[in-house]
Amino acid sequence: MINLEVPKKFTPAIDQAKAVAEHVLRPISRQYDRDEHTYAKELDMLAAAMAGMEESGSMKGTGATGVKREKSTGENRNASNMSTVLSIKEAAKGDLGLMLTIPGQGLGNSAIASVASDEQMERFKGKWAAMAITEPDAGSDSSAINTTAVRDGDHYILNGTKIFITAGERADLLVVWATLDKALGKTAIKSFVVEKGTPGLQFVRSEDKLGIRASDTAQFVLEDCRVPAENLLGDPEISAGGGFAGAMQTFDNTRPLVASMGIGVAEACLERTRELLAEAGVEVDWDKPAHSQSAAAQALLDMEADFEAARLLTLKAAWMADNAKPNSLEASYAKAKAGRMVVDVALRCVQLCGPVGYGETELLEKWARDAKILDIFEGTQQIQLLIIARRLLGLSSAQLR
């Protein structure tokens, strides 16, 4: 039986995330949205404080580094995945771009935490890792990756181009997806940890973007980049279970994280819209049928129902990961629903609030711009629906494309 009750042990982490969102991220949100390529130095102190709390155990499992699928104990439990989802939701209510820029909290850290060995976990501990999957000719279809990795003694030689890497310029490490043998298809795809400063790893540029402007989105080229063989994550052998399937397990943990960002941004929009509507004299009565209330109140009730559906799907996906249950389908449910929901909610909130919602006196217009990325990265809406269809129909990627 699923258990969605928030354990008391998570309260300090959730409260801390709320405080960070309100007192650290929101006050500087507009500044770094305007100064897109300027790093927020305020985040260094925040990262140091978070690292100290995680070391002490008072904030365990609150960042991307805390996400890891553990063996089932036979108990019904909420653990690091649930804690991380709940904390990220609160932090995303402050500023999504800044949250993605907190050192040590990259999606690459989730990849390492999900599949790395104990030795690798220790070796990369405390370093900030970005995820490098997307390529100019391989976006939503991760199995079409062209970056190659060729074994050469104790190293792999990587060649290829990676684009749209969140926090790529500022992170310490890149988790690069590459193929050991293109002819063998997706089973030959592996992930490698590439440290900044490695010869052959060349930074190209940071992109200008619609939203999450405080977070850098980078492009890199790998040209005869020699990576130690010990930096390969997972099984080095090419096999049906140890290749692409193993690398894709990362998404089972990171997609609920992205979904939690979506419910965080949507909740921020709904809370502020309720306040602005109340100031305008629009009252919402949750005990009355929607059709008996004003059009604005009806719209708000409709959005809240959509939000609640996304929230529950996200919590279920995290709970399943904490209880060692296969959650690929549920992770895609959560990501697809939350990604679509947050875009719809953010835009409708802007519309409901009229000129106030559209102007820069409020963060609503910024949240609307930020929301769109949550429907794109970690697998687009269309890809999530395709994954869901394959799972429900029992079809392979070759049978349903």
- Lookup: tokens for 62: 């609150």
Q: Which among 90, 330, 362, 378 is annotated as catalytic?
A: 378
Cβ–Cβ under 8 Å, residues 162 and 145: no
Q: Is 378 a catalytic residue?
A: yes
- Packing angle, helices 80-92 and 244-279, rounded to 10: 40
- Which residue blocks in 93-125 are alpha helix, DSSP H? 96-99, 107-115, 118-123
3-state secondary structure 140-196: CCHHHCCCEEEEECCEEEEEEEEEEEECCCCCCEEEEEEECCHHHHHHHEEEEEEEC
- Lookup: tokens for 94: 């402050």
The DSSP code sequence of 12-50 is HHHHHHHHHIIIIIHHHHHHHHHSTT---THHHHHHHHH
**Helix, strand or coil, per DSSP, at residue 376:** coil
Instruction: Give the closest residue to 144 by CA, choosing from 182, 191, 193, 190.
Output: 182
Cβ–Cβ under 8 Å, residues 175 and 131: yes
What single letter denotes the amino acid at residue 374? L
Cβ–Cβ under 8 Å, residues 84 and 61: yes
Compute and round to an integer the Cα radius of gyration of the chain.
21
Q: Which residues are catalytic?
A: 378
